[in-house]
Amino acid sequence: MVIKTCFLLMSVCSIQVLGSNHWNCQPCDMGMYMETQCQVKGGKSVCKPCPKDTYNEKSDFSLSCGDCSVCEMTQVVLLPCSPVSDTVCGCPYGKVWQSDGADGICVEGGI
């Protein structure tokens, strides 16, 4: 069974093969996706590195890597996306995040 999972707030989707690992394949490492499942019991799957601007932070059987998040216009990149982690966004020094539901903006001031 193939399941596609999406996280709307982060615009991240991953596709995983569930219930079909009858060979007890070894999962792909973080920063990789599974191109082909192993063909022998306990064998290694064929794994490929996540393409540019994508990531996979888990050691698993994902068939694709998630798209890196893009910071909102008023935010800055605190940590850039890497093959093993998504972009971390934040407000510039002296500004705070003000949220209105799913959207928000960095504004002057503090708590």
What pairs with residue 82 in β-bridges?
A: 85
Residue 29 confidence (pLDDT) above 70:
yes
CB 17 within 8 A of CB 1: yes
In a shared domain, residues 81 and 62: no
Name the phi and psi angles at 107, rounded to 5.
-125, 160
Indicate whether 38 and 84 sit together in one domain.
no
Number of domains forming the structure of the chain: 2
pLDDT tier at 18, thresholds 50, 70, 90: very low
- Residues 52, 84: one domain? no
pLDDT score at 15: 52
Do 34 and 84 fall into the same domain?
A: no
Check: CB of residue 97 under 8 Å from CB of residue 106.
yes
pLDDT at 53 (0 to 100): 97
pLDDT at 26 over 70: yes
What pLDDT score does 23 carry? 67
d(CA 75, CA 82): 18
Query: Do 10 and 52 reside in the same domain of the chain?
Result: yes
* CATH, residue 32: 2.10.50.10
Answer yes or no: do 47 and 82 share one domain: no
Residues 83 and 50 in one domain: no
- Kindly write down the DSSP assignment for every residue of 19-44, as one continuous string: S--TT-PBPBPTTEEEEE--SSTT-B
Which neighbouring-strand residues pair with 106? 97
Cα–Cα dist 35/110, whole Å: 47
Which residues form the domain of 82? 76-108
Examine the pLDDT at 1 and tell me if it is beyond 80.
no
pLDDT tens by residue, 63-109: 999 999 999 889 999 999 999 999 999 999 999 988 877 788 899 97
Q: Extract the tokens encoding 42.
A: 């306990």
